[in-house]
Amino acid sequence: MADEGKSEMTLPASDDHKKYNETRRTFLKQSSLLTAVALTPPGMLQIVELEEKVDEQFESVKVTLEINGETKELSVEPRETLLDLLRERLDLTGTKKGCDYGQCGACTVHVDGQRINACLAFVIMQEGKKITTIEGLSKGATLHPMQEAFMKHDGFQCGYCTPGQIMSAVACIQEGHANSKEEIREYMSGNLCRCGAYPNIVKAIEEVKNGGAKG
């Protein structure tokens, strides 16, 4: 690859946020104090402080979940989706955002073995659950047979829908919904591919279903 080094410049995003949270609170307090005498109507400071307390409650809910075999104790905002958590805070960018509305399937992950759209799942609702993303599908250097089959059958072009297609495909077989081409097509229709790799994706799934993916 042209520039692999750049991708490693990663700072744990959560710390960064914390820093800015603190900055903001300090700023609010200081500016409130400074301007309190001259500008702030009585009671304003109390409201600000009350808001902060409410914010704090809402801004940091503790949640424990297992992601790709690792237990994670996290502090999250209740509005945070699993997708944004994965992508923006845990640097698990293999799970893609295509629409953010549950319409494209690019963010498909497994929660307790079932495929879901991570963009429609709040993190706080995943307490205690086991989440598998594309990064956790392979066993070390050994790829999952579905990953091998996608490469062999060219089940992608741009690659952006691919992690979602693969996660969905694995679940599709596990659910028992891969017994014919027609059935695969029906049960994979929640995963859009704009490049049109559909015929190859179906071939890959059929092959894994039938037990052979070497090649």
Residues 14-43 that bind another protein (CB under 8 A): 16-17, 20-21, 24
Smallest gap from Cβ 105 to another protein, in A, equals: 9
Give the count of beta carbons closer than 10 Å to the beta carbon of residue 57: 10
For another protein, which stretch binds (CB under 8 A), given 32-40, 124-132, 147-155, 206-214? 147-155
Burial class of residue 207, CB neighbours in 10 A (0-12, 13-18, 19+)? buried
Name which of 22 and 128 has its Cβ closer to another protein. 22
* Contact positions with another protein (CB under 8 A) in 126-145: 133-135, 137-138, 143
d(CA 125, CA 134): 21
The rounded distance, in Å, linking the Cα atoms of 30 and 14 is: 24
Footprint (CB under 8 A) of another protein, residues 149-178:
150-152, 154, 156-163, 166
Pick the binder of another protein from 63, 95, 173, 213 (CB under 8 A).
95
According to DSSP, the residues that pair with 131 across neighbouring strands are: 67, 111
Query: Which of 7, 75, 114, 174 contacts another protein by CB under 8 A?
Result: 7
Among 82, 126, 200, 213, binds another protein (CB under 8 A): 200
Q: Shortest gap between Cβ of 124 and another protein (angstroms)?
A: 13
Number of residues this chain uses to bind another protein (CB under 8 A): 75
| Sequence letter at residue 163 | P
Q: Which stretch binds another protein (CB under 8 A): 37-45, 110-118, 124-132, 181-189?
A: 181-189
Question: Could you tell me which stretch among 35-43, 82-90, 110-118, 120-128 binds another protein (CB under 8 A)?
Answer: 82-90
Residue choice 5, 6, 53, 211 for contact with another protein (CB under 8 A): 6
